[in-house]
């Protein structure tokens, strides 16, 4: 069973500001609660082909995975796929203008768990959805200058 989780948030900041912050690997640990570290495995600046190693805590265990940037259109979309990790995953951010100069950001994680993870996919999808919604709330709070919940 595939995992495909999508969350959206409207953030009261211009699209370019939201995209720049959300796509900055060095800001990842500020708004992703479960991501503990991000290490650049490719030279800066961020571009298609950049590799980034993440260590995250999810469902009680540490996960080590390397993402490779597949697409990056600043202010429009950002796509990363796991090049190495527990199971193949693709993460997509998209950004659209919203009313009043705000931005609608969509975060999508999809993948195809293998082995035992295949059987736990529904549980994993629910947990991912909860975490992704909370992460988007932290991103919104950081960009709008509010205390995070």
Task: State the pLDDT at residue 25.
Answer: 97
CATH code of the domain in which 58 resides: 3.30.530.20
Give a yes or no: residue 104 inside a domain.
Answer: yes
Residue 116 has pLDDT above 50, yes or no: no
Number of domains in the chain: 1
Q: Which helix (H) or strand (E) holds 69?
A: strand 61-73
Task: State the pLDDT at residue 5.
Answer: 95
CB 32 within 8 A of CB 47: no
pTM (predicted TM-score): 0.90
ω into 45 cis (within 30 of 0): yes
Distance CA 35, CA 118 (A): 23
Measured over the CA atoms of residue 138, residue 139, residue 140 and residue 142, the dihedral's sign is positive
Give a yes or no: residue 149 inside a domain.
Answer: no
Give a yes or no: residue 35 inside a domain.
Answer: yes
């Amino acid at each position: 069973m595939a995992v495909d989780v999508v969350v959206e948030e409207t953030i009261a900041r211009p699209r370019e500001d939201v995209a720049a912050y959300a796509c900055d690997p060095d800001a990842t640990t500020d708004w992703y609660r479960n991501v503990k570290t991000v290490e650049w495995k490719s030279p800066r600046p961020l571009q298609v082909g950049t590799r980034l190693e993440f260590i995250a805590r999810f469902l009680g265990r540490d996960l080590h995975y390397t993402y490779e940037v597949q697409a990056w259109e600043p202010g429009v979309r950002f796509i990363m796929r796991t090049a190495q990790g527990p199971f193949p995953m693709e993460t997509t951010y998209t950004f659209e203008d919203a009313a009043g100069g705000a931005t609608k950001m969509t975060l999508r994680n999809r993948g195809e768990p293998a082995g035992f993870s295949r059987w736990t996919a529904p549980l994993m999808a629910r947990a991912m959805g909860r975490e992704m919604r909370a992460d988007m709330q932290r991103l919104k709070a950081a960009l709008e200058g509010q205390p995070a919940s």
